[in-house]
Amino acid sequence: MENKGQISIELILIIGFITLMILGIASFIGEDNELNQAMSAARSGAIEGANIDSFAIYPEEAFKNYTVEHQRLLSQSNIKIIKIDYVNQGFKEEYNKTKIQLRISASAPSVTEISDRNALGDRVNFHARKSICESFDASSQTNEMFNPAFSNRYVFTTADVIWI
């Protein structure tokens, strides 16, 4: 008779221990998943920005500016995103989130002027930040340049594009 009660207690202890382990692991996976989702969104946005730059498709205001200052950008060019990595800059009290700075490396052999590359890089960075905001439905939390971009646990900024 005594064995029947012991099996139930052991089963409850095992199930409780497994549940605690799953909850502990899930919190770590959730944080990694959010950062992976943001990095994936940033890559997608950077590629979109590079494609828009490659095809020389710009909003009217940018087109007018490029007509005066960046004539080279009005024709097609070949822009390739090489890599995207990030630097964790720690927890920032002003946002109550961890700050992540994205660093995008790109190549554009046909664009040699530094000012033209900076203009292209600004557009690539803009689309990377915009894509993060759209991915986390956080467009209302930032400005029209999507700088900084927000997720639930992180705030994202971008460094100047590194041209290779």
Length of the chain in residues, anyone? 164
Residue 11, CB half-sphere, CA atoms under 13 Å: how many? 6
Mean pLDDT of 114-122: 92
User: For residue 102, what are the contacts with CB-CB under 8 A and spacing of at least 6?
Assistant: 42, 84, 85, 86, 125, 128, 156, 157, 158, 159
Can you tell me which residue has the tokens 């799953």?
Answer: 22
pLDDT of residue 5: 57
> Mean of the per-residue pLDDT values for the chain?
88
pLDDT of residue 3: 60
Residue 42, both tokens = 């940033």
Assess whether pLDDT exceeds 70 at residue 116: yes
DSSP-derived letter for residue 159 is P
Residue 53, both tokens = 């730059």
Query: Which tens digit of pLDDT belongs to each residue from 72-98?
Result: 888 888 899 999 999 999 999 999 999
pTM above 0.85, yes or no: no
Question: How far apart are alpha carbons 38 and 125 in whole angstroms?
Answer: 14
**Bridge-partner residues for 162, per DSSP?**
105
- Its sign, for the CA torsion 16, 20, 21, 25, is positive
Query: Which tens digit of pLDDT belongs to each residue from 41-72?
Result: 999 999 999 998 888 888 888 888 888 888 88
**pLDDT band, very low/low/confident/very high, at 145 (cuts 50, 70, 90):** confident
Assess whether pLDDT exceeds 80 at residue 125: yes
**pLDDT band, very low/low/confident/very high, at 154 (cuts 50, 70, 90):** very high
Mean pLDDT of 113-118: 92
Provide the percentage of residues in the chain whose pLDDT is more than 90.
Answer: 54
DSSP-derived letter for residue 58 is -
